[in-house]
Amino acid sequence: MSEQQSTTVHRDARPEGSAPSPSAEAMPRPERRSRLAVALVLADVALVFAVAAGIILVGWGINAAALMLAGLLAATAAPAFALAELYGTTAARSDRISESARIVAGLSGVSLAWLVALLVIVPNQIGRTAGIAVMVALPLLTLALTAAHSVIRRRMMRRSPERVLIVGAGETGQSIARSIGRSRAGDAVVVGFVDDDPLPLEEDLASLPVFPANDRLVNAVRESGAERILLAFSRMPASDVLDRVRASTSGDIPISVVPRFYEITPLHASLSSLGGTTVVDLASASLSRGARISKRALDLAIGGTALVLLSPVMLACAIAIKLDSRGPVFFRQERLGYRGQPFHIVKFRSMRIDAEAHRQAMADMNEMESSGPLFKMKSDPRVTRIGNFLRRTSLDELPQLFNVMNGTMSLVGPRPFVTHEAVQITGWHARRLDIVPGITGLWQMKGRNDIPFEEMVRLDYQYVANWSPWWDLRIILGTIPTVLKGSGAS
């Protein structure tokens, strides 16, 4: 057996950003499931009690009987949600839409119990005020429960990440392992690969064991302590992989499959039957008319508020730029926007006024030359003193809020490239600008210039295919830690 096929789990120090080493102290899955269920039940009962008490107190005033009734109604939450199968998974990656659907189903049962209790205990006293309170409270309760479940699951999984064993140590398997290692979610850790004919492991994955595929899969599961099997692509025949999975006695360990075209498969892809064959339906990489209207409304609301709140900061930046070097406060540059239409992006000037004239002479100093048509340098001599600070803190990006307000940019979207760089992007990569470019995006949240061009384009496609207002808010909030840490800034 080769060194890469050793089943010994190494716990050597690893480079930053590589796949994390598996922890021997990971919480067993049954224990994690029970702890998660208890935490979710307590949160559900507390939230339902608070809402029920509020409704009852609004309708009938403060008294002990009202609080007892609220407690009785809150007690119906746990069994109703259990019947809706809300406590059956330990995954932090639980689909928000399906979980919200289960919460609505559970609340339907809770609402029925409330109605029966009110009609029996306080008949003929359900007034208009109480009715309005119920109509307002139930949607808010749904949102609160969904948010609480998401937070609890993420925290539980961060404390004890799910241990993943990847079947296939080829390019895809290793790419997936690196993606899991870089993920900010921290809800999973790769504990090894299963492959008889693996590619040489990259340096950042070298500490992970590679188990022989000719052995029973259950042995690899037992030795690695895996809690989930992930089927990636390998040079093994598909029939051999299926035989080993079917013959596995791995019990109730879940098995996940990486889609053949995982780069363009959205998070909410659906399954359907075509002539008796299960197929994956891919969403179009474009936004519907309703989605574009919702996104624009979100941009105007958040962008307008941000402009007002950040105006003192922007004024201070403008004064600092004028005191530091000669030239205008703002820098305008032509970029390609929505469907290839040129527009002028606005930023605080961070370079000398003759910076563009020196760009061609510095072409051989490009540090992103192997990652597409982009030009970036971490120590660009054209950057001014205050410009270096503005770039590190991303304050130079603030004037792009004006672009958001005039509609040439969005708060979240694909990164807009300089025109002469953008025209070099051809093929399906060019579809990234089928939506309005953004100030931030998944590429910004995951490390900005630290991620290669191909990964950036894939993230742009993933963003469009999975768009929702929640998705935008999540990316905006997720960008803040990246900016504060200065990750990938240049």
pLDDT in tens, 114-163: 667 666 665 555 555 655 666 677 777 877 888 888 788 888 878 888 88
Got the DSSP string for 22-82? PPTTPPPHHHHHHHHHHHHHHHHHHHHHHHHHHHHHHHH-S-HHHHHHHHHHHTTHHHHHH
- Residue keyed to tokens 């002469």: 420
* Cα 247 from chain centroid (whole Å): 34
Among 274, 207, 216, 298, residue whose Cα is nearest residue 15: 207
Q: What would the pLDDT profile of 164-214 be if each residue is shown by its tens digit?
A: 999 888 888 898 898 888 777 778 899 999 888 888 898 889 899 998 877
**Residue that wins the pLDDT comparison between 4 and 286:** 286
Judge contact between 35 and 156, C-beta under 8 A. Answer: yes
- Residue keyed to tokens 């922007």: 314
* Cα 430 from chain centroid (whole Å): 23
pLDDT band, very low/low/confident/very high, at 287 (cuts 50, 70, 90): confident
Among 388, 363, 362, 358, residue whose Cα is nearest residue 373: 363
Neighbour-count burial of 168, counting CB atoms closer than 10 A to its CB (0-12 exposed, 13-18 middle, 19+ buried): buried
Cross-strand pairs, 334:
344
The mean pLDDT of 264-272, rounded to a whole number, is 71
- Residue keyed to tokens 């519907």: 288
Rounded to 10 degrees, the C-alpha dihedral 201/203/207/211 comes to: 0
Per-residue model confidence (pLDDT) at position 480: 77
Judge contact between 336 and 423, C-beta under 8 A. Answer: yes
Neighbour-count burial of 398, counting CB atoms closer than 10 A to its CB (0-12 exposed, 13-18 middle, 19+ buried): buried
pLDDT band, very low/low/confident/very high, at 60 (cuts 50, 70, 90): low
Q: What does the alpha-carbon distance between residue 412 and residue 401 come to, in Å, rounded to a whole number?
A: 11
- Whether domain 3-23+161-258 has CATH 3.40.50.20: the reply is yes
**Residue that wins the pLDDT comparison between 279 and 177:** 177
The mean pLDDT of 225-247, rounded to a whole number, is 76
- Break the chain into its structural domains and give their ranges: 3-23+161-258, 29-159, 289-485
Judge contact between 23 and 230, C-beta under 8 A. Answer: no
Question: Cβ of 293: how many Cβ atoms within 10 Å?
Answer: 11
The mean pLDDT of 239-252, rounded to a whole number, is 66
Judge contact between 162 and 90, C-beta under 8 A. Answer: yes
Judge contact between 36 and 92, C-beta under 8 A. Answer: no
Phi, psi values for residue 417, rounded to 5°: -95, 155
DSSP character at residue 222: H
Judge contact between 350 and 388, C-beta under 8 A. Answer: yes
Question: Cβ of 31: how many Cβ atoms within 10 Å?
Answer: 11
Judge contact between 330 and 348, C-beta under 8 A. Answer: yes
pLDDT band, very low/low/confident/very high, at 375 (cuts 50, 70, 90): low
Positive or negative, the CA dihedral 234, 239, 240, 243 is: positive
Residue 217 to residues 65, 224, 254, 428, 454, Cα–Cα distance (Å): 59, 11, 13, 38, 33
Output the average pLDDT for the chain.
76
